[in-house]
Structure 1
Amino acid sequence: MAQAQDRRSMGARAIRGVLNCARDTDIFPLLSIGLAFCWAIDLTIDGRAAKGFMVGAVALLGAAYLWGFFARNRIDARLTLMADRADEALGQPEHEAPASDSLDRLSNHIDARIAHARSVDHRAAQRHGITRLPTREPLIEAIAAHDEGGVLGIVELCDFDRLCAFDIALADQVLNDVAARLLRMVGDARFLAHVDRARFAIWYGGSSDGMARQEFDAICYALRSRIQLGELDMLPQIRAACVIQDQVPFEPAALLARTIAALSDSRAPQISVHGGQAMDIARRSFLLEQDLRQAVARNELELWFQPFIDATTARTCGAEALLRWRHPQHGLIAPNQFIPIMEIAGLADEIGLWTLNAGCREAREWARQGLGAVKVAINLSAHQLEGSDLDRIVERTLQRHDLPAHCLELELTETVAAVDSVEATRLFGKLRAMGVSISIDDFGAGYSSLSYLKKLKFDKLKIDREFVTDVDRQGDSQAICQSIIALGRGLGIAVLAEGVERPEEYAWLRRHGCDLFQGFYFSRPLEAAAFPAFARDRETVRRLTDLTPVALQRRLTKSVS
């Protein structure tokens, strides 16, 4: 046993000696593994193997050294070739002395590339990754260079996110096309920047308000022209806002923030305000949003109702529910002030559900008061339509208020109705199967294709007021209204003219085949408590729908006086 231990001790000392010799060479890892393996074997055999073990260890050391020698030569040759190619392609790095060693030469080139990347890093951060236009920081610097103020305009491509939803590469191409158009129109005279995902800013430093606004309006108009990229043929939806900064001194970053806020808070395609106004608009919008978030809980919302008139029966056949907000400090707030805030703040679902419940509750009350089958029309937003459970929500609401489905009509704007998808087809089919009517509001003022009328089934088209106003003396409006009336008749869809304000408009539309009407000529929107009395007043409706010469003369005389 003692002899075996001595042999093991001798073997261990020999291995440590070999390892010490190899530690300074490139073959140390390989020798470590090999000798450790031999040592493990030696621990399991008798002493007669000790001599063979040492011979094997020395042989392994020699083989490893020869392998390392030839491998090193091959690596050195490869490094020399790589260094030569780097010298040929990149030249001698600046501020570096020529190096004879291949590894040093490659190291010099790598250090030079890293230094160059660091030197241009700030430029890359100030250029948009897609359009290569300057970004926010260079814009702020350009604005700050004009102490006298100027005009800041922002243009937004509204289609960008919708395109990204199904083809990111295509969305980037459209974004680049818009950027290229802007570059051609703006040129070097103005500072153009890409400040957000799909928003571009144009700074008119030191320019007169009138000239800058005219130029900006012209650019926005031109941007709405058709884009054709491969199979894509689209008319881009553009929103724009410009803020006139005529108060000095001012903060450039604050001016940019106010302009973006003016763009976000407005649903109009284009808005122009002064710097002070932009600040007031942003502040008022923010405070209204905070109050609107609590309006449902505080019971501040109301529904008013504007009657639908059936001229064939001279009766009120329904009403559109119009949302109103009675603010405790500001009184009644106009819908065009809070509806955009509602949509931007993500409150459309909550307030839309409240509207649906309140409208169905009022319609049930009308039936209880003996008004008969008077429909209530509720407007749906795009947010509500995107929900996968809208049909179940409608069904539960009807059951909760014990309202027959044929007493409910859901109104969609033309753009929302034009959503061409399997889900929309399924949803509309389920709603109509319940007995709920679906109508298209503002028909003719939105989406330009009629293909959705074939794919999606509707019960009513509402002619937009833009074509109804002065239809009795506008030839182009007459042609459009006649076409819509004929279209509805051919598809078996009812047609309603909204925005009728004058007896002449009503008379022309009635003579050309329109039977359903809505507008100030018949009634302004009524509070919920006043609507039943109007619906019972058949005499007033009969008088307003009478087209006999005597009745027409009476109404014309009254309108003139």
Structure 2
Amino acid sequence: MKLSRPGVLPEPVTVAALLLKVPPVEPTVTVAEVLELFTDNPKLVAIPIVADGLPRGIINRKTIIEGFARPYTRELLGRKPIASFMDVQPLVIDLLTDLDDLSHTIMESGMHYMHDGFIITKDGRYAGMGTGYDLMRTITERTQANLYSLAHFDALTGLPNRLLFLDRLNQTMAQAHRNERLVAVMLLDLDRFKAINDTLGHTMGDLLLKSVAERLAECVREDDTVARLGGDEFTVLLPEIRYIQDAAAVAQKILDALAQPFFLDGHEVFIGTSIGISLYPFDEELSALLRNADTAMYEAKQDGGNTYQFYTAEMSTASLRRLSLEGALRRALERGEFVLHYQPQIDLARDEIVGAEALVRWQHPDLGLLGPMEFIPLAEENGLIVPLGEWVLRTACAQNRAWQNAGLPPIRVTVNLSVRQFHQKNLADIVARILEQTGLDAQRLELEITESCLIQNTQTTVTLLTELNRLGVRISIDDFGTGYSSLAYLKRFPIDTLKIDRSFVCDIDTDPDDAAIVKAIIALAQSLEMHVIAEGVETRNQLDFLHTYQCNEIQGYLVSPPLPAGDFAALLAMDARGPVAIRPPADRRRPLGHGVGGQSETNRL
């Protein structure tokens, strides 16, 4: 499939589009000879007068026909040279002049040249004639083509839009019904596009979408259709395929193509895509095809992304649950249904609790306690992530202050910030206000951000982090080493803590590569006088490794899962009387089921 916009002329339209090969005459040609030329060619409007290839003038039909219709005029003037009667100030336009410029010139002349026409030159020499009528026709056709394109094609990528896609899908379904063939509808949603768009900016996001469109077009046949529905959603229509495996092969080809890095104005960007596939005639209605492809796409995203799923009937139940959660989520904050659990962070040198990470849960009135994987992606989609994030920050600060007021040992509380939260223009003011209202010392608050937060608007980021640093708030980089790791930002930004991602910790006692990475991160943090904490610690061997290489702190199920505020307070009180016992693996319990919560969490606040 070629990327194009049918109906839109690919190059700027110039006067060359109006060129008519009208034979010129010399200035010495007689009036009678010119009259004969007009008589023999009724469609001829004007004749150019040219000498040595250079335009000298123009004579129009009206001047000759009306002037020589009077008695004896032909006999008296017929032998005179046409130069005596020509218009010596014709409109002369270069072949490469834009049509819009020509139109402007003609309108300024009072439309005089619309009837007489104009001479067209190339490199200053006569090339032909043009008429006002052809100009109007070309402009009209161009306008109609542009209107068609605006209605049927995506302005950014040049791909068909939703309207044209639906029209082609209708036609394809009818043809497949006659030929007894399959039709595959693929719905694609780019993985991590939102994070890239938020961090690198919308200009880079647009460049990425254009590049994605080009790669998608290269993955399909000439008769297939790739369309952009909006945002980062694309569709692929595969008409008249014989086997289901044909659709799977195209889907895998797309996954492989988009897995390759994109180079955008000096940035190397990696994305993936989640693909949902529905098939006609298994889904006989157009609306069902689109709905089921969307359902399958969401399942692919839930499976971790960068994969494809064919629709199955069982998916509809999960889709209904998601819709139900989305509706209830908007009311959950108002109804006070969110709660925070706290996972202790242990100082290895002092063997005591020095911090707690605040992790949000949803106490759903019907479904019980839900982990963040169930609702954080929905909150990011519908914009609730910002007010929810502010609620988490306020609640965690208030709770930490309440523990201090109750006489418990002072600790810091860590709160995760979403990318959208971090890029609020007034974030520093919001943090300062919450600290003042809750009475929490700024040194007892740590804000945890991802590496992707740091790569957009670098100067703005420096300013924001500096403001937070002046407040006394600590800054931690979450999941260090899994994103846009760069020594440059570690040096430039006021960062206090590096958090080693659980993906490196889980195999440090068996995988030499993971062990080397963890040792390198610890050494890097020490050399930059930063704190380092390892998350996801679940075994004694992991603990011993981290202790040996002088990791500052750990958190994980080996110590405790995330706990409700009351249970955490009891643990903190017990720790004040003596070190918290490290529980053996057999005693670990994972709340919430389905592996959601605590160290399994990938979406959290």
Under TM normalisation by the shorter chain, which class is it? 0.7 to 0.9
Q: Number of residues paired by the alignment?
A: 465
The whole-number CA distance in structure 2 between the counterparts of 1:127 and 1:154 is: 18
Partner of 1:386: 423
For 2:132 and 2:455, locate their aligned partners in 1 and report how far apart those are by CA, in whole Å: 62
Task: Give runs of aligned pairs for residues 48-127 of structure 1, distance below 5 A.
Answer: 78=113, 82=117, 106-107=132-133, 110-111=136-137, 114=140, 118=144, 122=148, 125-127=151-153
Contact 2:119 2:128 in 1 (8 A): no
Q: Secondary structure at the match of 1:313?
A: coil
| Sequence identity (%) | 29
TM-score (norm 1): 0.72
Quote the Cα distance in structure 2 between the aligned partners of 1:367 and 1:222.
54
Q: Which amino acid aligns with 1:410?
A: L
Deviation at 1:348, TM superposition (A): 1.7
Q: Which runs of 5+ in 2 are unaligned?
A: 1-84, 92-111, 589-605
Structure 1 position 432 matched with structure 2 position 469: yes
Aligned to 1:530: 567
CA distance in 2 between counterparts of 1:558 and 1:162 reads 42
Residues 245-286 of structure 1: per-residue CA shift (max 9 Å, x gap): 477343334533564577689575435442645654554333
Structure-2 residue corresponding to 1:465? 502
User: Is the 8 Å Cα contact of residues 153 and 203 (structure 1) preserved in structure 2?
Assistant: no
What is the rounded CA distance, in whole Å, between the counterparts of 1:534 and 1:417 in structure 2?
35
The code of the aligned residue for 1:455 comes to R
Aligned pairs (5 A) from 1:23-62: none
Matched, 1:408 2:408: no
Once residues 200 and 587 of structure 2 are traced to their aligned partners in structure 1, the CA distance between those partners, rounded to angstroms, is 57
Per-residue deviation, residues 163-204 of structure 1 (Å, max 9, x unmatched): 99574xx76554443322222232337432233254432234
- Among 385, 393, 402, which residue is 1:348 paired with? 385
User: SS of the residue aligned with 1:312?
Assistant: coil
Code of the residue aligned with 2:219 in structure 1: it is M
> The residue matched to 2:230 in structure 1 has which SS?
coil
Structure exhibiting the larger radius of gyration computed from Cα positions: 1
Measured on the aligned residues, the alpha-carbon RMSD in Å equals 3.7
Q: Does the CA-based 8 Å contact 1:258-1:282 persist in structure 2?
A: no
Post-superposition shift, 1:418? 4.1
Match among 184, 187, 191 for residue 221 of structure 2: 187
Q: Would you tell me which structure has more strand in proportion to its own residues?
A: 2
Distance of 1:424 and 1:136 partners within structure 2: 37
Between the aligned partners of 2:202 and 2:137, the Cα distance in structure 1 is 43
The TM-score, its normalising length taken from structure 2, stands at: 0.68
- Cα deviation, 1:60-92, whole Å, max 9, x if unaligned, reads xxxxxxxxxx99997899567626769x9999x
Report deviation, 1:423: 2.5
Distance 2:281 2:114 in 1: 65
Closer, same or farther: CA 78–138 of 1 in aligned 2, 3 Å: closer
Higher relative contact order (CA 8 A, sep 6+): 2
Deviates more, 1:416-425 or 1:527-536: 416-425
Flag the 1:120–1:405 CA change in 2: closer, same or farther, 3 A. closer
1:378·1:409 contact (CA, 8 Å) conserved in 2? Answer: yes
What is the CA–CA distance in structure 2 between the aligned matches of 1:410 and 1:355, rounded to whole Å? 11
Larger displacement relative to structure 2 (259-268 or 236-245): 259-268
Q: Distance in 2 between matches of 1:301 and 1:428?
A: 28
Q: 1:544 aligns with which of 554, 557, 582?
A: 582
**CA offset digits 1:393-426 (Å, max 9, x no partner):** 2222222222222211111122124445222222
Say whether the 8 Å CA contact 2:297–2:308 is kept in structure 1: no
1:392 Cα shift?
A: 2.0
Question: Mapping of 1:31-430 within 5 angstroms?
Answer: 78=113, 82=117, 106-107=132-133, 110-111=136-137, 114=140, 118=144, 122=148, 125-144=151-170, 145-146=172-173, 148-156=182-190, 158=193, 161=197, 165=201, 167=203, 174-188=208-222, 190-205=224-239, 206=241, 208-209=243-244, 212-228=247-263, 231-245=265-279, 248-256=282-290, 259=293, 266=301, 268-270=304-306, 272-273=308-309, 274=311, 276=313, 279-430=316-467
d(CA) in 2 for partners of 1:196, 1:276: 27
Q: State the partner residue of 2:24.
A: none
Would the aligned equivalents of 1:406 and 1:437 in 2 still touch at CA under 8 Å? yes
**Structure 2 counterpart of 1:544, one-letter code:** I
Evaluate the alpha carbon distance shift between residue 162 and residue 537 of structure 1 in structure 2; reply closer, same or farther with a 3 A threshold: closer
